[in-house]
Amino acid sequence: MSDVLIFGGQSNMQGQSECRPAAVAATGILEYKYLKNAAIPLCDPAGEDIGEQLLAAHEGHGTLLPAFCRAYRRMCGADVLAVHAAKGATKIADWQRTGQRYKTALQKITGGIRFAEENLAGADRIFYIWLQGESDALAGTSEEEYLCRLKEYREALCEDAGIDVFCIIRVGYFTADGINDVAIMRAQDAAARQEGFLMLTDVAARLSKDARFLNPHAAGHFNNRGLRLLGGIAGRALGRYAARFQKS
């Protein structure tokens, strides 16, 4: 059996690093490709373009998925099927159940779960990992609205895809003054205190203030070094959780 790890959100989850990192596949970690209904060893560039609804790593560069999945597997020992379902420059409202982006993402997510069930001896734990909020900070989305929409999004994925836990990598700083970023961070912190959510890390806030971890060609986006660090920290956190997680 394989654990299905679904990666959603906007550009820092889609991947917008400075260049393509070395492609190093790891044993026991696959990526589901919806357009071919196939699984390949996970390495960057992860993801695939499905119209304008979901996009692969920007310009074929890096993502946090390989580092996350390697760390996850080291902690809990499970084989992994990764599903990349992200799109840059999206607000939380763009992921709501009535929209086409949600429908496209759901098709890919359920396709990956079905692939695991039919070809990988089953889908064991199903975790959704979310890294998003920069566009909502730019748009001035309120803490209350963001929290409400995030809860609705989790509920939809639970009902439609059967995810076990909605995991959050808390967003970093993106706007000039940081005030609206903090509102989104507070909303994500509030969500993580509720049943069905899990906060993996808040380290993105620190990394987003450190030029060593940022893409010099795209303000507010992590470089490959930053993505490896962020992915590794978050993956270890979820792996520790998974090691003691019991499906209901």
Name the pTM for this structure.
0.98
Of 48, 39, 43, 155, give the one whose Cα is nearest residue 95: 155
The gap from C-alpha 241 to its chain's centroid, in whole angstroms, comes to: 17
pLDDT digits (tens, 9 = 90+) for 136-155: 999 999 999 999 999 999 99
Neighbour-count burial of 172, counting CB atoms closer than 10 A to its CB (0-12 exposed, 13-18 middle, 19+ buried) = buried
In tens, the pLDDT along 8-46 reads 999 999 999 999 999 888 899 999 999 999 999 999 999
Q: Which residues neighbour 27 within 8 Å (Cβ) at sequence distance 6 or greater?
A: none
Crossing angle (nearest 10°) for helices 143-161 and 100-119: 40
Q: Among all chains, which residue has been given the structure tokens 């509102």?
A: 183
Nearest Cα neighbor of 161 from 104, 93, 231 is 104
Angle formed by the axes of helices 179-192 and 143-161, nearest 10°: 40
Q: What is the mean pLDDT of residues 198-207?
A: 99
Fold of 2-80+89-244: Rossmann fold (3.40.50)
Helices (H), ranges, 77-124: 100-119
Give the number of other Cβ atoms within 10 Å of residue 166's Cβ. 24
% of residues, the chain, pLDDT over 70: 100
30-39 residue pLDDT tens: 999 999 999 9
Q: Where are the domains of the chain?
A: 2-80+89-244
Q: For the chain, percent helix, then strand, then coil, each to nearest 5?
A: 45, 20, 35
Q: 83: pLDDT confidence band, cut at 50, 70 and 90?
A: very high
